[in-house]
């Protein structure tokens, strides 16, 4: 994306969890380029600060808050710090999610399930509750949660992760129906994009993955995934809620 800040989200304040790298970083950059002030909630202080530096370098507004989304106190502190820094909250992007690499169903452990649950749907649930009064104070708000084709398609080797992502989709649909009267819109994105894991793959492995993508390219975290988040957070997305949006180059159902 270009360096100019396009003010379609001027005056908006957004939180993005896990925004120190990968998809979260791309979403944070996209929101900031669209004019939103962005709070980067990241467990890794170094990568969180780096994302903030990138945003301020092109004239955007951002702050970093060290936050382990599995810790209720950290979640509360992150929302409070955002409101203190920028005066309110309009957009919550629940991107952070712990995942264990491929493990067969019978080898998955209670610890795997607990880690995925606490970092995904439980963290999203807590942050949504914390954000709700601030959304109402602003006359509405937007939540973007993250699902995955691992859940919608039932990807082998990812039982705990898939279960967590489907639980997040369930939370999203309930919140969208209950909070619509408050002008709070809640949606899920299921992306297939160039995460940190993608960049660790060999060229041969990347080529193999791309053969399953009808568009024959990997999604860009900022332009492709971040662009859809900006749409949902803007007036252009004002009649979209309760939806699962596949941002995967047509991959769903073709793996």
Length of the chain: 255
Active-site residue, selected from the candidate residues 161, 165, 192, 228: 161
Are β-strands 141-146 and 184-191 bridged in parallel, bridged antiparallel, or unpaired? parallel
Q: Which of 236, 212, 196, 230 is nearest to 96 (CA)?
A: 196
161 a catalytic residue? yes
CA distance 99 to 189: 17
Residues annotated as catalytic (active site), given as ranges: 161
């Amino acid at each position: 994306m270009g360096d100019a800040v396009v003010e379609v989200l001027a005056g908006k304040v957004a939180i993005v969890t896990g925004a120190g790298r990968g998809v979260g970083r791309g979403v944070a950059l996209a929101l900031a380029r669209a004019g939103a002030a962005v709070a980067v909630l990241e467990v890794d202080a170094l990568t969180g600060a780096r994302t903030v530096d990138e945003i301020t370098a092109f004239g955007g507004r951002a702050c970093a808050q060290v936050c382990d989304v599995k810790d209720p106190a950290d979640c509360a502190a992150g929302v409070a710090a955002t409101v203190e820094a920028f005066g309110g909250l309009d957009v919550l992007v629940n991107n952070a999610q712990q995942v264990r690499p491929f493990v067969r169903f019978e080898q998955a452990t209670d610890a795997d399930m607990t880690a995925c649950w606490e970092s995904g749907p439980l963290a999203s649930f807590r942050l949504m509750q914390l954000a709700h009064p601030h959304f109402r104070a602003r006359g509405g708000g937007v939540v973007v949660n993250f699902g995955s084709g691992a859940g919608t398609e039932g990807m082998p080797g990812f039982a705990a992760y898939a279960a967590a992502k489907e639980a997040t989709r369930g939370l999203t649909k309930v919140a969208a129906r209950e909070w619509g009267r408050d002008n709070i819109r809640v949606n899920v994105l299921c992306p297939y994009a160039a995460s940190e894991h993608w960049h660790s793959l060999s060229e041969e492995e990347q080529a193999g993955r791309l053969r399953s993508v009808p568009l024959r390219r990997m999604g860009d975290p900022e332009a492709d995934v971040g662009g859809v988040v900006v749409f949902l957070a803007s007036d252009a997305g004002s009649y979209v809620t309760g939806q699962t949006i596949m941002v995967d180059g047509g991959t769903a159902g073709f793996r």
